[in-house]
Amino acid sequence: MSAQTVILIFTLVIYIIIIFVFNKARKKYAGGKVGEVVNLIIVTVALLFIADYAGMLSSYVDGEIIDIIKALFRTAGLSFLAYGGVRVAGA
């Protein structure tokens, strides 16, 4: 197993733990600011997950396109978190 495979498996486990924990928190704290923050975190983690695993398309798509997809999803995730954080803080 290569180092890249080990890293991908490790990050997959981390993503699953984060989504599992925050999904439980979403059920417990439905509504209100805490619920909104939990939803922000879940969507951000999902977008970052897609960015990290876009490399799996490398056999179908050119490497430069993969880099663009990764950058777009990472930017979308961080922008969503920033915009949502400002909205929650201002509401």
The pLDDT tens digits for 29-57 are 888 888 889 999 999 999 999 998 888 88
Query: Distance of CA 54 to CAs 7, 19, 35, 69, Å?
Result: 14, 19, 29, 7
* Whole-structure pTM value: 0.84
Query: Is the dihedral angle over the CA atoms 27, 31, 32, 37 positive or is it negative?
Result: positive
Segment 10-39 shows an average pLDDT of: 90
Going by pLDDT thresholds of 50, 70 and 90, the confidence category of residue 91 is: low
- For 31, phi then psi, to 5°, come to 85, 165
- For 60, phi then psi, to 5°, come to -110, -25
Q: Which of 1, 55, 21 is nearest to 29 (CA)?
A: 21
**Which pLDDT score is estimated for 29?**
85
